[in-house]
Structure 1
Amino acid sequence: MGSFVPVTQDELQSMLTEMGYTSIRELYANVPEEVYLEQVDIDSGKSELEVTNEMNRLAEANVRFKSCFRGAGAYRHFIPATVTAITTKEEFVTSYTPYQAEISQGVLQSIFEYQTQICELTGMDVSNASVYDGATAAAEAVFMCEERKRSGVVVSAGVDPQTIEVVRTYCASRDVEVTIVPLEDGKTNPASIACAAKNAASVLFQSPNYYGVIEDAEALVASAHEVKAKVIMSANPISLGLLKTPGEVGADIAVGEGQPLGLPLSYGGPYLGFMVLTLDLWRQLKS
């Protein structure tokens, strides 16, 4: 129990002696008697099992829904037991960054498998080993599209608000202009994109967007390319099993949040951001 006791009586007395006191009450002599509590009237501690049972009893008072769409993109997904079994194998789990290939073959193999699968899923050519999260991936992609004479980004209002804020934060430090295009009937108007992106380096949109509406991705890509802007498409990886992939609609870069692939919510993390692109841009790819 030693690791669960904040301080022993011997340690307490040693500290008091070092400060020139003989008791805790003497240490707190300036605290008035009427507000000083010698003993707090609380129940004794409970065992782990008792605490678990009590928490379960309290939780039963909540209304539980089988399907919940309040996560704004972050939802509880089914994770097969094999995922946990594989990811905890010693071949994959290591504290080393893979500098020394001879001791990190498992890490290198897992990164290779990830890059291969995410390229197949998105229909794109090249992938990095992932970045911090989906919002960070979008912001990094904006910088990858910068040119000497074009550096602004046009962002659909249908993009996740947190992603928009991260993009704004990144761009503010480099004086990159961020233009937000409002939605029309829940969707992004391709004509509005073309008008706003005449001098911009890139266009960022999300499909399905923040409100669950499937954007006309092909039309948005065509409108952006018409004015020579590169296209960053943010996508939910699960949706790509049904919808046309970023590669099929002609996007230059695809980004998104990897949490739907099987990461627990964990009160906001850990997440990962995927970033894939065409061969034309691979030299700008952030590793």
Structure 2
Amino acid sequence: MRYLPLTDHDRRDMLSVIGAASIDDLFVDVPEAARLDGPVHGLPNHASELSVERHMTALARQNTVAGEVPFFLGAGAYRHHVPASVDHLIQRGEFLTAYTPYQPEIAQGTLQMLFEFQTQVARLLGTDVANASMYDGSTACWEAIGMARRITKRGKAILSAGLHPHYVSVAKTMAKYTGDVLDTTSPWLVPDMDVDRLIEKIDGDTSCVVVQYPDILGRIADLKPLADACHANKALLIAVVTEPVALGAIRSPGEMDADIVVGEGQSLGVGLQFGGPYVGLFGCKEKYVRQMPGRLCGETVDADGRRGFVLTLSTREQHIRREKATSNICTNSGLCALAFSIHMTLLGEAGLRQLAATNHANAVAAAERLAKVPGVSLVNDAFFNEFTLDLGQEARPIVRALADKGVLAGVSLGRLYPGEAELANGLVVAVTETVTQEDVEALATAIEEVLA
């Protein structure tokens, strides 16, 4: 039974205060054609709990479960093995029900976890500091662009062609309200990233250059020349990492002098989960810390000299003067951040490097096998665990045909870039430690059959 505390008298009082004659008056701005004139078509008025469970189970069986078939999807969300201990620990009551601490010093356990998370993220990204997490990678990317505008007092951001199109879409949505100019373009099916093009575009109006590392096609580049070019023009370099496991094998963006490094932490501790919730990573150079969005937890000692944790920096208007706020992001993805931190702790530095090495070795073996399929060519020969194939014909129908054969082959570039004919043949393939030799052979065989 629903709990409806308001009486008809209460509703009449509220309507009279706002000057509405009835509840229907609250919807006058909704076009008549968009209003329902009865129950939603096809839904029963009532059903038993048992019948609902059976119906939902039948619907769930229509899904293809990642762990039950050869699985090569990536493009920003990756299937890695998450130890059972991660889920066990995050479901402890003190963690599972914890919310963002509004009286932070009381929540010492939460603050300590976030402090450890920040330390891990900063070391992983190669930055001086990292915040207590963001909603996800795409919002972290936009927040970095906004941060660059505040620091440089400029409003033009140059976005690499290899930046994930979903991240670009979020940035475009937000830029409508800030006036930022975003210089964007689509990628090309070529082996190298567009570093030279980015350097040529930097001018006196540029606030930042945003580059993904590895990029949407899996390509990797030395970011140091790009960082130098940015700094020569008093602009910032923002690096976006959607696959943090890669940083166990390749140089971190911070080592290459990136000013702000953001990304998605889903790969560590967080399953695919139909696309969320995920956890955004955000780190930067120390000199920019006061323009960093979100919150920062710090370590101190109490009056008795005992180790303790405090909320060191909080930049939301709820905590400080509105005109000084850098963002309205406050509620970090706490549970996902905890899962990330636990998984990182279980791996340690040696474990992360070993995991990265396994991913890369599996990807190299898969790329070599798939490149032998007649009609298929490998676009990029430098990659971590994700690479792009040119199938010689439109990839989307091939992906669907492979799915019918029980093989989830990857992400077609035609899906990510609809209407871009020159990208239609591209297929992004991700190979993690969960992929076996048998999975790769199944994919290669299935592609051969479909292309024949």
Q: What is the TM-score normalised by the length of structure 2?
A: 0.49
Find the counterpart in structure 2 of residue 194 from structure 1: 199
Out of 171, 182, 186, which is 1:167 matched to?
A: 171
Change in Cα spacing, 1:135 to 1:90, as seen in structure 2 (3 Å) is: same
1:127 touches 1:275 (CA, 8 Å); kept in 2?
yes
- 1:1-287 to 2 correspondence within 5 Å? 65-69=69-73, 71-101=74-104, 103-146=106-149, 147=151, 149-180=153-184, 183=187, 185-199=190-204, 200-235=206-241, 236-287=243-294
Q: Secondary structure at the match of 1:259?
A: coil
Shift of residue 260, structure 1, vs aligned partner: 0.9
Q: How many angstroms apart in 2 are the aligned matches of 1:97 and 1:126?
A: 20
Listed one character per residue, the Cα deviations across residues 260-285 of structure 1 (whole Å, up to 9, x for unaligned) are 11212222110111100001211101
Q: Secondary structure at the match of 1:72?
A: coil
Moved more, 142-151 or 117-126: 142-151
1:131 touches 1:137 (CA, 8 Å); kept in 2?
yes
More helix, by proportion: 2
Paired amino acid for 1:81: A
2:239 touches 2:260 (CA, 8 Å); kept in 1?
yes
1:134 touches 1:258 (CA, 8 Å); kept in 2?
yes
Q: How many angstroms apart in 1 are the aligned matches of 2:155 and 2:95?
A: 40
2:158 touches 2:182 (CA, 8 Å); kept in 1?
yes
Moved more, 238-247 or 100-109: 100-109
Q: Secondary structure at the match of 1:255?
A: strand
Give unmatched runs, 5+ long, in structure 2: 3-49, 295-452
2:193 touches 2:220 (CA, 8 Å); kept in 1?
no
What is the aligned-residue RMSD (CA, Å)?
A: 3.2
Paired amino acid for 1:209: D
Q: How many angstroms apart in 2 are the aligned matches of 1:60 and 1:132?
A: 27
Q: Secondary structure at the match of 1:119?
A: helix
Q: What is the TM-score normalised by the length of structure 1?
A: 0.75
Change in Cα spacing, 1:106 to 1:229, as seen in structure 2 (3 Å) is: same
1:194 touches 1:227 (CA, 8 Å); kept in 2?
no
Shift of residue 111, structure 1, vs aligned partner: 0.7
Shift of residue 67, structure 1, vs aligned partner: 3.4
2:193 touches 2:219 (CA, 8 Å); kept in 1?
no
Change in Cα spacing, 1:99 to 1:249, as seen in structure 2 (3 Å) is: same
Change in Cα spacing, 1:280 to 1:65, as seen in structure 2 (3 Å) is: same
Change in Cα spacing, 1:46 to 1:214, as seen in structure 2 (3 Å) is: same
Shift of residue 177, structure 1, vs aligned partner: 0.7
Moved more, 215-224 or 197-206: 215-224
Q: Secondary structure at the match of 2:71?
A: coil
1:258 touches 1:272 (CA, 8 Å); kept in 2?
yes
1:232 touches 1:255 (CA, 8 Å); kept in 2?
yes
Shift of residue 233, structure 1, vs aligned partner: 0.2
Change in Cα spacing, 1:75 to 1:191, as seen in structure 2 (3 Å) is: closer
Paired amino acid for 2:78: Y
Shift of residue 227, structure 1, vs aligned partner: 2.4
Paired amino acid for 1:98: P
Q: How many angstroms apart in 2 are the aligned matches of 1:124 and 1:224?
A: 17
Change in Cα spacing, 1:181 to 1:250, as seen in structure 2 (3 Å) is: farther
Larger Cα Rg: Structure 1 or Structure 2? 1
Shift of residue 179, structure 1, vs aligned partner: 0.6
Shift of residue 82, structure 1, vs aligned partner: 1.0
Paired amino acid for 2:238: I
2:77 touches 2:267 (CA, 8 Å); kept in 1?
yes
Listed one character per residue, the Cα deviations across residues 28-55 of structure 1 (whole Å, up to 9, x for unaligned) are xxxxxxxxxxxxxxxxx6696x889978
Q: How many angstroms apart in 1 are the aligned matches of 2:110 and 2:66?
A: 42
Paired amino acid for 1:187: D
Paired amino acid for 1:176: D
Q: Secondary structure at the match of 1:108?
A: helix
Q: How many angstroms apart in 1 are the aligned matches of 2:75 and 2:106?
A: 40
Shift of residue 135, structure 1, vs aligned partner: 0.6
- Identity value in percent: 37
Moved more, 144-153 or 276-285: 144-153
Shift of residue 254, structure 1, vs aligned partner: 0.3
Paired amino acid for 2:232: E
1:221 touches 1:251 (CA, 8 Å); kept in 2?
yes
Q: How many angstroms apart in 2 are the aligned matches of 1:60 and 1:256?
A: 27
Paired amino acid for 2:140: A
Change in Cα spacing, 1:228 to 1:273, as seen in structure 2 (3 Å) is: same
Paired amino acid for 1:168: K
Q: Secondary structure at the match of 2:94?
A: coil
